[in-house]
Structure 1
Amino acid sequence: MTHPASATLPLLAHTKPDAVVAWRHDGPVTVERFLGDVERLASSLPAGGHVLNVCADRYRFTVGLAATLVGRKISLLPSTHTPETVRQLQMFAPDTFCLTDSPACDIDLPQHHFIESPVAASPEGGAVPMIDVDQVVAYVFTSGSTGTPMPHPKTWGPLVRNIAAEADRLGLVDKPFTLIGTVPPQHMYGFESTVLLALLSGGAIWSGRPFYPADIADALAAVPRPRVLVSTPFHLRTLLSAGTEVPPADLVVSATAPLSGNLAVALEAQLQCPLIEIYGCTETGQTATRRTAETAEWQLMRGLALTVEDGKVWAHGGHVETPTMLSDIIEPTADDRFLLHGRSADLVNIAGKRSSLGYLNHQLNAIPGVVDGSYFMPEDEQTDGVTRLTAVVVAPGLDRATLLQALRERVDPLFLPRPLIFADALPRNATGKLPRAALEELRRTLGGSE
């Protein structure tokens, strides 16, 4: 969709200067204070046109994002901040600088440090900045087949439409709410659902990023209701198994990997509220939702449609301006509904039998006594011409024979892991995902036997 050159949309949906836009450990932050912080930071940013915003405090990240928008700079959102990724970012945008709130930041880029001001002067007139709908807000990066990050531009207009559809689906329109996120704001899911959702729907942000169950409980207790916990299956499963007493939420949102129906039911009971899953990808943004405790079907976001051509599924309409092929195995069941059968890249074919890593992981983690576990296909995936799967598992109370027997009751023997590796913990990243390189390193370190 094209827009008139003059088309703009506001940075904030909040209509009053004393409305709360964030909660920090020392109390609420009003729109007036936020806009003052944004103006102060925007006036001090370096000349570079691209920003790697690594602020860990979610409020500071949000101020940095807004200042970047006001200054017509572009945020870079890679999946990691490894030295190699940073080098590749420099090649993509040589004028990139790093915005950080950590004195110990070791990212090899020109650094601009976020410095708190005891009092932020209010911007003249207190006007909410207007952003051009065609302005590129961010480049979100996915790993290409060569390992080089592939940029996907996100412009303001489609992002605003995406968030409006999300707020409508989650029932957050025209009501105050506070978002507590266990995911980093630099990840596309965290960017959309813990930052933009608050700014563009009149909600508030909790500035911290709780990780452990006790931290999540403390964060929920620190903000008023209604409160929304934005998390991942890994964090939610850990929260449930910890047995920590958690204040009730009003909504739980989950993404990055599918949840089982049983886990969703248990989480709804513990947190005393509905749990909604979001399905999406970097290329399309948020695409569909489901209430997992009640149905396996996903419902497309407002305005979106799916088209199947030659066995491939394309998303289009709504905030997806260009038809985009989805990398998942999708079975449409109605005009706006579908079933998800895993990622195309996760398909496994052994001796003519097919399964998916997602299905195998679900069966592994459903075994009583398994705290965490994951299958993966090693780089040297064939031995004597036979494909071998590896699994890494955290199961302190189980031995190898017991675990393998339990797996035999759930999966075809061809899909038993060879080797099965026991570990104290899995090397999950901030969004609960398991980087392939970390799994390979764990395999090399711990070995394992068949």
Structure 2
Amino acid sequence: MSVLALESVLIGGRDPDRVAALRDGRPLTWRDFSDAVAGVAATLEPGRRYALIAADAWLFAVALFAVWRADAEAMVPNNALPATLSGLAESFDEALDDAALRARMASPGAPAAARLLDGERCRLTLFTSGSTGEPKSIVKRLRQLSAEVAVLERSFGAQAGDACVLATVPHHHIYGLLFRLLWPLSAGRVFEVSPHFLPEDLLEAAAGLGEVTLIGSPAQLSRLPELIDLPALLSRTRLCVSSGGPLPADAAAAFAAAAAGARRRWRSSAAPRPAAWPGAVKATATAPGRRCPRCAAPSARKARCGSCRPSCPTTRPGWRRTPPSFCRTAAFSCKAGAIAW
């Protein structure tokens, strides 16, 4: 992984075929991201104020960087309810929801060349919840967000490694925005687009991803010991972040006990312990029905494109295979391949 300042994400020179995110197991690459940002930015007006209300985290990230690239202003309401948007109507000129963003991505245009974003001029306005009065605006400059993300990487990056980021927190709040979207985009770390608010969905998603960095809130995490097999979840977790505040003492003790149970499972299980995303399983043959995502060859030995043949795990002993959820899409995915992590 290569760590970039947020100002440089659009011009950082990352492999365009490298996976940036997963949506229900389907890969979204850096080419997908840069093309979408360029397409949306070409439809935006400089100086215009856009409210970002996309429910899809990938589309939200596309919209945010597109607004910055277009020299427009971005604001994020605390929710997308009609009453909330009506109350903030004086703060924005146009709202960008999922449908509007998909339409802009599909519209023809001539996007300008990508450039370094201005850390001082690019801003994001967020709003408090309004639970104690009228929502208050908080302005964050891109350089401030970039500095916060850099601190997260210095503090937790080594422990997170290349584990996929899995979250239970929404992206339109500052902690979800930082931990779930901006930090992975800066670090080049794969993130799961869909949030997993239900505990059983969270456990299932983690089981399919090999290893994860889990981003949750104190309230959400505190309920997990009573609702799911927490050692099973932590056996797949490299890093668990209580975003927004510390865990209560009893919840922290439950997590510590579950982590000890997860370690015992690793030692006693005949299956290999997951070591790092995308899983520590050596591939000895291409699974039936899986094809190269670039040239559609049924196996590495028959691959016709120049990048997937030498990188397929079947021809490179010791390379790690993708987790089952991603393998449903492609089996060619290591660092030099047509799809690279």
TM-score by length of 1: 0.50
Shift of 1:254: 0.8
Pair 128,193 (structure 1): closer, same or farther in 2 beyond 3 Å: farther
Q: Which residue of 2 aligns with 1:114?
A: 102
Pick one of 230, 244, 254 that aligns with 1:266: 254
Shift of 1:79: 2.2
CA contact (8 A) 2:39 2:104 kept: no
Alignment of 1:252-331 (within 5 A): 252-270=240-258
Q: Which residue of 1 aligns with 2:308?
A: none
Alignment of 1:56-71 (within 5 A): 56-71=55-70
Separation in 2 of the partners of 1:121 and 1:85?
33
Separation in 2 of the partners of 1:47 and 1:122?
16
The answer to whether the aligner puts 1:161 opposite 2:147 as a matched pair is yes
Structure 1 counterpart SS, 2:117: strand
Q: Which residue of 1 aligns with 2:274?
A: none
Separation in 1 of the partners of 2:222 and 2:28?
32
Q: Which residue of 1 aligns with 2:8?
A: 10
**Deviation string, structure 1 residues 51-85 (Cα, Å, up to 9, x no partner):** 22222221111111111111122221232334443
Q: Which residue of 2 aligns with 1:358?
A: none
Pair 262,32 (structure 1): closer, same or farther in 2 beyond 3 Å: same
More helix per residue:
2
CA contact (8 A) 1:14 1:202 kept: no
CA contact (8 A) 2:120 2:142 kept: yes
Shift of 1:37: 1.5
Pick one of 235, 239, 250 that aligns with 1:251: 239
Pair 216,121 (structure 1): closer, same or farther in 2 beyond 3 Å: farther
Separation in 2 of the partners of 1:135 and 1:48?
11
Alignment of 1:325-344 (within 5 A): none
Amino acid at match of 1:10: S
Separation in 1 of the partners of 2:24 and 2:104?
14
Q: Which residue of 2 aligns with 1:391?
A: none
Pair 129,28 (structure 1): closer, same or farther in 2 beyond 3 Å: farther
Q: Which residue of 2 aligns with 1:337?
A: none
Pair 48,271 (structure 1): closer, same or farther in 2 beyond 3 Å: farther
The answer to whether the aligner puts 1:231 opposite 2:216 as a matched pair is yes
CA contact (8 A) 1:228 1:250 kept: yes
The answer to whether the aligner puts 1:138 opposite 2:106 as a matched pair is no
CA contact (8 A) 1:20 1:204 kept: yes
Structure 2 counterpart SS, 1:217: helix
Structure 1 counterpart SS, 2:88: helix
Pick one of 207, 216, 219 that aligns with 2:205: 219
Shift of 1:87: 2.5
**Deviation string, structure 1 residues 293-344 (Cα, Å, up to 9, x no partner):** xxxxxxxxxxxxxxxxxxxxxxxxxxxxxxxxxxxxxxxxxxxxxxxxxxxx
Q: CA RMSD in A?
A: 3.4
The answer to whether the aligner puts 1:192 opposite 2:202 as a matched pair is no
**Deviation string, structure 1 residues 173-213 (Cα, Å, up to 9, x no partner):** 99433211111111011111101101112212211011111
Pair 165,146 (structure 1): closer, same or farther in 2 beyond 3 Å: closer
Separation in 2 of the partners of 1:193 and 1:201?
11
Separation in 2 of the partners of 1:249 and 1:59?
23
Separation in 2 of the partners of 1:224 and 1:205?
13
Q: Which residue of 2 aligns with 1:439?
A: none
Query: Structure 2 regions of 5+ residues with no counterpart?
Result: 263-341
Separation in 1 of the partners of 2:6 and 2:201?
39
Pair 143,133 (structure 1): closer, same or farther in 2 beyond 3 Å: same
Amino acid at match of 1:132: D
Pick one of 198, 201, 209 that aligns with 2:195: 209
Structure 1 counterpart SS, 2:128: strand
Structure 1 counterpart SS, 2:222: helix
Q: Which residue of 2 aligns with 1:27?
A: 26
Shift of 1:224: 4.3
Q: Which residue of 2 aligns with 1:404?
A: none
CA contact (8 A) 1:74 1:136 kept: yes
Pair 220,267 (structure 1): closer, same or farther in 2 beyond 3 Å: same
Structure 2 counterpart SS, 1:130: coil
Q: Which residue of 1 aligns with 2:84?
A: 85
Amino acid at match of 2:183: L
Structure 2 counterpart SS, 1:18: coil
**Deviation string, structure 1 residues 145-167 (Cα, Å, up to 9, x no partner):** 98332222111112111110111
Structure 2 counterpart SS, 1:16: coil
Separation in 1 of the partners of 2:36 and 2:7?
20
More strand per residue:
1
Amino acid at match of 1:141: F
Shift of 1:19: 2.5
TM-score by length of 2: 0.64
Pair 146,251 (structure 1): closer, same or farther in 2 beyond 3 Å: closer
Q: Which residue of 1 aligns with 2:49?
A: 50
Pair 221,75 (structure 1): closer, same or farther in 2 beyond 3 Å: farther
Pair 57,218 (structure 1): closer, same or farther in 2 beyond 3 Å: farther
Q: Which residue of 2 aligns with 1:170?
A: 156
